[in-house]
Amino acid sequence: MEVVVHYSEIGTKGKNRAFFEKKLIENLKRLKRNFRRVYKRYGRIICELREDSNFFEAKERLELFPGISNFMLAEKTALKIEEIKRVCLNLLKQREFETFKIESSRSNKKFEKTSQEVNEIIGSFVAAKLNKKVELKEPDVMVHIEIGEKEVFIGLDKYKGIGGLPVGSSGKVVASLSGGIDSPVASYLMMKRGCEVVFCHIYNSTQVGEASLEKIKEIVDELTKIQLRSKLYILPFEKIQKKIIMDVPSKYRMIVYRRFMMKILDRVLAKERARAILTGDSVGQVASQTLENLRCIRKASNELILSPLVGLNKQEIVEIAKKIRTYDYSIQPYPDCCSFMISKHPETRAKIEEILEIEKRIKNQEKLIEECIVKAKLEKFEFR
């Protein structure tokens, strides 16, 4: 059996279409546990299932696979009406139903029948053989017949993908990954736009033990099921945090902390040759995410900063987190760096001139940031 994969946005890329198709095929070929062969046909990609592979395991992966519009489990047959009849009949005998619809598409214009003629011929044949009724609006079962240049693919169920662009087609970004709900969702949304995401987790090792870091690794492991390969930088922040607590008034600490975080992410970006920094910011959700404070925080970076959640409500973010299966990990207790920074009355309308003056109190900033980078741990994840 084959899985027939369709894409939508890739098909609009004009002269660059071949590049995006190639990238999607490369990504699908990494699913070696599911597919023994992946190849291109006109307007579609065919994935041959391994004999020992479970389609429903493959289905779970493909439903969150960037670049895929829809897909179906199909049987391949010859370019002959009698063979199409045989396969359709065999597939439908495995289902309980009363009404059905035939839906044909024909990329091979040299085939002896038009799509409408195939619908009528196969519909009449099935109705007579199985004593079932054709229903065009709301059938119990839909038969999809795709007539290509070399063969015909026939299936009963089409499953929806997430669309977008294949991971790696839009370049690399560096994500600030906290222990919360938002940043994993932001990472997923950029994967869907074709970005390879490198994860950075900034933590205080005096607060967080190795056992607690497992939560972060579990989130990355779950997101790796979407992009298939991931890097996680674990960056120690305790010395910088201590200096901020000593030298910065409490109501400004969160802003200064986030600014240092941006400077650290800039260094990782350069190391990874990435093109942007990714954050889970949503306007107005917390004190550090007012427009004024976001402006102050972003001024610390020299790089492009992407925040795909910026206009989403919390419930919308939660729903996506549940869909990508990171929510249950994100809600587990975790003592992140920010908790020590939060003032009872944090500044919500900071001015960059004021923040820059306050930051002058912190000595040896470059040395502190460099030490954080040098002591970083790098972990790699791969999902096949």
Last residue of a domain, one of 160, 189, 214: 160
pLDDT at 11 over 80: no
Q: How confident is the model at residue 121 (pLDDT cuts 50, 70, 90)?
A: very high
Give the pLDDT confidence score for residue 12 in this predicted structure.
78
pLDDT at 340 over 80: no
Last residue of a domain, one of 114, 130, 160: 160
Helices (H), the chain: 17-29, 55-62, 81-92, 115-130, 182-192, 210-227, 238-247, 250-272, 291-298, 314-323, 327-330, 338-341, 352-359, 365-374
Return the CATH number at 114.
3.30.2130.30
Average pLDDT for 320-347: 76
Question: pTM for this structure?
Answer: 0.90
Q: Which two tokens stand for residue 150?
A: 């070399």
Q: Do 186 and 99 lie in a common domain?
A: no
Q: Do 229 and 330 lie in a common domain?
A: yes
pLDDT at 151 over 80: yes
Residue 254 within a domain: yes
Residue 41 within a domain: yes
Residue 340 within a domain: yes
Last residue of a domain, one of 134, 160, 186: 160
Residue 267 within a domain: yes
Q: Do 331 and 195 lie in a common domain?
A: yes
Distance separating alpha carbons of residues 338 and 297, to the nearest angstrom? 14
Distance separating alpha carbons of residues 372 and 240, to the nearest angstrom? 9
Q: How confident is the model at residue 334 (pLDDT cuts 50, 70, 90)?
A: low
Residue 165 within a domain: no
Q: Do 365 and 333 lie in a common domain?
A: yes
Q: How confident is the model at residue 23 (pLDDT cuts 50, 70, 90)?
A: very high
Residue with the bigger pLDDT between 179 and 78: it is 78
Q: Do 189 and 338 lie in a common domain?
A: yes
Using CA atoms of 168, 273, 268, 260 in order, give the dihedral in degrees to the nearest 10.
-100
Q: What is the pLDDT of residues 196-255, one digit of tens each?
A: 999 999 988 776 666 678 899 999 999 999 999 999 999 998 899 999 999 998 888 999
pLDDT at 194 over 90: yes
Helix (H, G, I), strand (E, B) or coil at 49: strand
Q: Do 155 and 176 lie in a common domain?
A: no
Return the CATH number at 227.
3.40.50.620
Q: Do 123 and 254 lie in a common domain?
A: no
Average pLDDT for 23-43: 92
Q: Do 208 and 127 lie in a common domain?
A: no
User: Nearest to residue 301, comparing CAs of 332, 333, 277?
Assistant: 277
Count of domains forming the chain: 2
Give the pLDDT confidence score for residue 343 in this predicted structure.
62
In the chain, the amino acid numbered 223 is L
Q: Are 100 and 140 in contact (CB under 8 A)?
A: yes
Residue 167 within a domain: no
Q: Which two tokens stand for residue 355?
A: 């923040």
- Helix and strand totals (H; E) in the chain: 14, 15
Q: How confident is the model at residue 341 (pLDDT cuts 50, 70, 90)?
A: low
Q: Do 136 and 186 lie in a common domain?
A: no
Domain that holds residue 237: 172-382
Give the pLDDT confidence score for residue 333 in this predicted structure.
72
Q: Do 31 and 118 lie in a common domain?
A: yes
Residue 166 within a domain: no
Q: Do 347 and 262 lie in a common domain?
A: yes
Q: Do 89 and 183 lie in a common domain?
A: no
Residue 314 within a domain: yes
